[in-house]
Amino acid sequence: HSLEDTMLSLRGDVCVVTGACGFLGKKLVKLLLEEEKLAEIRLMDITIQPNLLQTLEDCRGETKLSFFEGDIRDANLLRKICRGASLVFHLASIIDIYDSVEYSEIYGVNVKGTQLLLEACIQENVGSFIYTSSLEVMGPNSKGEPIVNGNEDTVYNCTLKFNYSNTKREAEECTLQANNEMLPNGGQLATCVLRPMFIYGEGSRFLLGDMVKGLQNKSILYRVSLPQSRVNPVYVGNVAMAHLQAARSLKDQQKRNAIGGKFYFISDDTPHVSYSDFNFVLMSPLGFRIQSKPMMPLRLFYVFCFILEVLCKMLRPFICVVPPMTRQLLTMLNTPFSFSYQKAKRELGYVPKYTWEEARKNTTEWLASQLMMEREK
């Protein structure tokens, strides 16, 4: 490690991770334990899995692990968690691409929860705040206008429909506006936002869901996106690395001023491919094949989704039925939408920790273990 890296370590810090039991949260906590000598990591989630402590025990070292179970909308709990901490990674949110969660609930967690956490940080003199956003705050828009290798300056007319995208966007704005807020101790809060692409890797419920559907379809994966609709998914281990690099950069006063109040796209060197073809790349070693074309032409599929949505809306007063596919989701799956990580590399010093070969191997091995469990059911 160079001298600069030593200066920019989180050694001795107390940090908070919300959503610590989630797909990315677990990976981030493990990385922090492996790469840094923190005084304490406070893990917060709505429910803490009992086996989580055992899995972290072997790489814990001297770091104290504290678990907080509770709701992100509980202001008193947030103040307690932030007391004495210097850094917050805010990962907790409701991810809902089917619009199945009531708006008040998703708004309460994603927006209100973020506002309350920012307030707790200011009251308790927490200096650094990193918010995990999503590519979906950019779109794609309802016209399905493509972006190929976009960056942070790409101008795009976004007409978001998903409650998820809208609430993430609003939480992102709250986070960036809180940059430079004065703290009671005379310091200032520095905030930054990371926007990862579609995250894959061990523990991805989306990959698992697609694999199970393929298994039920005689090991043939469904095609819901056309091959030319290329996106650039990002490996979970690399997203965790970007969070660590952002936190290290906020330790340096000069960098802090440069990156505070900004957002960064986080991708890696995963090949650009459509969502359906990406599933096939990861699952073909396990004996899966893929449909050569979607079940019906896209235009017809779109009409079909519209009818489904109308039916579900009519039923809503009596029963909550969530359509398996919506027009918004179909558009998202069929729009070329990719972004470069060059700005994060330049300004945060982010370099992917895992190569595409390692990421693919890790993910496929995990899927293989899940497949065995599914077959034994």
Closest to 346 in 3D by CA, of 269, 249, 270, 260: 249
Under a CB-based contact definition with an 8 Å cutoff, are residues 356 and 282 in contact?
no
d(CA 117, CA 82): 8
d(CA 139, CA 159): 7
Under a CB-based contact definition with an 8 Å cutoff, are residues 294 and 224 in contact?
yes
| Residue positions annotated with a catalytic role | 168
Under a CB-based contact definition with an 8 Å cutoff, are residues 176 and 163 in contact?
no
β-bridge pairing 64-69 and 87-90 = unpaired
Output the six-digit token pair for 4: 């600069």
Which ranges constitute the DSSP H helices of 217-326? 236-249, 253-259, 275-283, 298-315
